[in-house]
Amino acid sequence: MRILVLTQQYPKENDIYKNGFVHTRVKKYLEETKIYCEVFVLNNRNNNYVYDNVNVQEGSVDNLVLMLRNGKYDKIIIHFLTWRMISVLLKEEFINIPKLIWVHGFEALSWRRRIFNIFNSNFLKYMLVNKIQLRYFKKFLGPNTNSKFIFVSEWMKNIAEKDIKAKFTNFEIIPNGIDTEKFKYSSKDSLKKNILLIRPFNSRKYATDIACKAIELLSKEKNFSEYSITIVGEGKYYEKDTKIISQYDNVHLINRFLTPDEVKQLHSENGIFLCPTRQDAQGVSMCEAMSSGLVVVASNNTAIPEFVDDDINGLLCLNATDICSKIIKISNNKEKFNEISKNARNKILDKCDLNRIILQELNLVKGENDG
């Protein structure tokens, strides 16, 4: 079986973070002896490279057309279906190729759901492109395009239907897989007051301002010095958000991205994972932390409640004051802390274990669940 994976960005040796979750899937697909898999990145760069033994071509719409004509692919797997991809895939010569389309978020949601980024200098441009994107996406749902859509959460599907103003009739709900073997459970009994935040600081989507405000509130507690807080991330809001708490000796700032092994190490040194959000279709870093047994303190919005049951396998909060209050409460309740920690691991094993998720996806790739 010959597969083309189509996406808008992909890792390189000097930039390993671009859609790393897509690369994880590709590596698993290539382990199947009956699957030959190539990657095409639609970005106008006209470049070929090999990353971790995966053949990758970057190119324009014209390059994509040629690749589809010459490749004779049995199936196209798409992550982040953009309007430029749709302009190619709607061509009569390609419309009958079976397609699996993962819908992750920005490509299927209205700009109105990202109002929290309205002060971004590129927001007006984003609004205009978003209107084109949603119009094309709806058009793609019109004819029989031989497509199955995969959503990582029920919330993602329901909101996409509202914003595109169309129903998805052929779809699956499959969360992003979590490598539970890498992110192994370890007891956090002695780490109840060690707090970890790992977030991009380049969008208000990730609520880093709310997280830092919660830490500021925590700093007013008389026993604040008992806590150890590690904040990791990079982006234009980093200095602004962390400025007010950077003065404290027990707040450790790491202004860069981390490798998965570095994340794993920090998981082993902390007991609470602070991860509020303004919008998330799943929350992969949150799920990784849960797999490691950290008690996550997250937001009670969007798709988060599908992955975190409040006071059972994590803590759901409404605002910075709520976050601060729940951190204090859980960090002083050994029995409840350990219970949530163990339940968090079991939740991810049951819902998101990578090996099980990959088997589900491979069934779709091979056509065993077509229909």
* Residues 210 and 140 occupy one common structural domain: no
Number of domains in the chain: 2
Handedness of CA 226, 272, 331, 338 (dihedral sign): negative
* Residues 163 and 112 occupy one common structural domain: yes
CATH code, domain carrying 225: 3.40.50.2000
Is 183 inside any structural domain? Answer: no
For residue 370, is pLDDT > 60?
no
DSSP E strand boundaries for the chain: 2-7, 36-42, 47-51, 54-59, 75-79, 99-103, 147-151, 171-173, 194-200, 228-234, 251-254, 272-275, 295-299, 315-317
Place 56 in a pLDDT band, splitting at 50, 70 and 90: very high
With 0-12 CB in 10 A as exposed, 13-18 as middle and 19+ as buried, what is 157?
Answer: buried
What residue has token string 């895939």? Answer: 89
Is 13 inside any structural domain? Answer: yes
Q: pLDDT over 70 for what percent of the chain?
A: 98
The 10 Å Cβ neighbour count of residue 250 is: 16
Is 238 inside any structural domain? Answer: yes
Residue 162: C-alpha distances to residues 32, 106, 155, 156, 366 (Å): 37, 14, 11, 10, 31
- Region 259-286: what's the mean pLDDT? 95
Three-state DSSP at 118 gives coil
* Residues 254 and 159 occupy one common structural domain: no
0.85 exceeded by the pTM? yes
Look up the domain containing 274 and give its range: 194-352
Is 185 inside any structural domain? Answer: no
Residue-wise pLDDT for 6-29, tens only, equals 999 999 887 776 888 899 889 888
Is 189 inside any structural domain? Answer: no
- Region 156-165: what's the mean pLDDT? 94
Is 184 inside any structural domain? Answer: no
Residue-wise pLDDT for 307-363, tens only, equals 999 999 999 999 999 999 999 999 999 999 999 999 999 999 999 999 999 999 999
* Residues 219 and 331 occupy one common structural domain: yes
* Residues 25 and 48 occupy one common structural domain: yes
The 10 Å Cβ neighbour count of residue 2 is: 12
173 beta partners: 151
Is 188 inside any structural domain? Answer: no
Q: Supply the pLDDT for residue 368.
A: 56
* Residues 344 and 360 occupy one common structural domain: no
* Residues 361 and 347 occupy one common structural domain: no
Alpha-carbon distance 229 to 191, whole Å?
A: 11
* Residues 228 and 306 occupy one common structural domain: yes
Alpha-carbon distance 163 to 280, whole Å?
A: 16
Is 62 inside any structural domain? Answer: yes
Tell me which long-range contacts 231-236 makes (C-beta under 8 A, separation of at least 24): 231/197, 232/196, 232/197, 232/198, 232/199, 232/256, 232/258, 232/266, 233/197, 233/198, 233/199, 233/200, 233/201, 233/208, 233/257, 234/200, 234/201, 234/202, 235/200, 235/201, 235/202, 235/203, 236/201, 236/202
* Residues 80 and 92 occupy one common structural domain: yes
Q: Where are the alpha helices (DSSP H) in 219-369?
A: 238-242, 260-269, 284-291, 320-331, 334-352, 354-366
Number of H helices, E strands in the chain: 12, 14
Alpha-carbon distance 88 to 86, whole Å?
A: 5
* Residues 345 and 246 occupy one common structural domain: yes
- Region 157-175: what's the mean pLDDT? 93
For residue 71, is pLDDT > 90?
no
* Residues 157 and 232 occupy one common structural domain: no
* Residues 157 and 198 occupy one common structural domain: no
Pick from 80-84, 128-132, 204-208, 227-231: least confident = 128-132
What is the phi/psi pair of residue 199, to 5°?
-150, 145
